Amino acid sequence: MDDVPKAAAAVAAVKLDQDDQQVIAPHDNADEEYKRLTDATLPRVKAAFVVLVRNSELYALRSSMRYLEDRFNHKYNYPWIFLNEEPFTEEFRNMTSMMTQAEVHYGLVPQEHWSYPDFIDQEYAAQCREDLAAEDIPYGGSESYRHMCRYQSGFFMLHPLLDDLDYYWRVEPGVKFSCDIDYDPFRLMQERDLKYGFTIALREYKATIPSLWKTTLDFAKSHPQYIYPRTRPDSLLRLVSDDNGWSYNLCHFWSNFEIASVKYMRSEGYQSYFKYLDEAGGFFYERWGDAPVHSIAVALMLKQSDVHWFYDIGYKHDNFEHCPTEEKWLTNSKCYCEPSTSFDYNLGSCTNLFLDVMNKPASSFIVTRPDPEDLPLL
């Protein structure tokens, strides 16, 4: 651990390049922006929903599709991309394609992206799984979960079906969307030059990532050109470290919902980070998840204006739910979720930390507007 102080310092000591010094122009008139964001007649942004899914998850996926189609996509018809490590059945293709008027695409995960690389000791990896399973760590003993996390961390964005996309919206089977989405999140990403968007932020199980931060600091030390300077006021480092980079606070964006830039996820910086982590073996010897990997990369490589909290998109995955709690017209007229169930202000949430880092109230992330009949609720 002797190199940790030096590596942490590397996070802080990076020089600015020309792009870092550019000043982002303020958004133009908000009313004009909202008109564009809600204009379904404009040419679609180059974007799609991307789902890693198995044939056995067909009905849970159809439920997710129904929510998104009803809440948003019936107006915009963004395509769906389904990826699987096994060939999709004819039943799966037929029963998913009938859920949408949009294009649907079915892709196979390359075998080399869902198998052990040569540098992994599979016997040791099996023992590590047994050890974590004995500690009752969620998915601690699962081999397939590790392949999934590795794939979601660094490979899915490289699939040829994403070649023509500027943005993707990751969707999982069995999720719920509880608010009407009357604007185009993809266009918002494009108009504001955003790189990453999320709904839920929470803390990771420490036992699953004991060496992830040390490995990250080693990467930062050896690849300082990819690290956004910690000393800049718009740095995001504080999202993942409470002590200026010495340790990881376990906060991460839950990546089962993320809207992100394909260009960023395919960038030399991000892919170099993933390759470095991959070669360290933590996806198999520990249980590194794609959510902390994505989130740490965002915090180290991007700046505040690159990230957006989709506060007005109600979302539920398993027992974790994001539900807008303000403004009253938003909660009462555009959403059906119960505000008191929102995980945002739970002790395990990192939402308050995000707002503190951004120095903004939650309401500043509201993009949607009240309908005329909602005005009495203001």
Phi-psi region of 136 (alpha: psi -120 to 50; beta: other; left: phi over 0): left
For residue 58, what pLDDT is reported?
99
Q: Quick check: 106 pLDDT over 50?
A: yes
Measure the CA–CA gap between 10 and 239, rounded to whole angstroms. Answer: 17
Q: What's residue 27's pLDDT?
A: 52
Backbone angles phi, psi at 80, to 5 degrees: -110, 135
pLDDT at 178: 97
Domain boundaries, the chain: 4-17+45-377
Tokens representing residue 327 in the block: 């403004």
Topology classification of domain 4-17+45-377: Spore Coat Polysaccharide Biosynthesis Protein SpsA; Chain A (3.90.550)
Instruction: State residue 354 phi and psi, 5-degree precision.
Output: -60, -45
How many Å apart are CA 102 and CA 204, to the nearest integer? 35
Residue type, 341: T
Report helix angle 4-12 to 212-222, nearest 10. 60
Is residue 239 a contact partner of residue 300, using CB atoms and an 8 Å limit?
A: no
Q: Which of 258, 286, 321, 327 is catalytic?
A: 258
Place of tokens 């590790």: 146
Q: Cα separation of 172 and 133, whole Å?
A: 24
Q: What is the pLDDT of residues 174-212, one digit of tens each?
A: 999 999 999 999 999 999 999 999 999 999 999 999 999
pLDDT per position as a tens digit, 110-161: 999 999 999 999 999 999 999 999 999 999 999 999 999 999 999 999 999 9
- Whether 258 sits among the annotated catalytic residues: the reply is yes
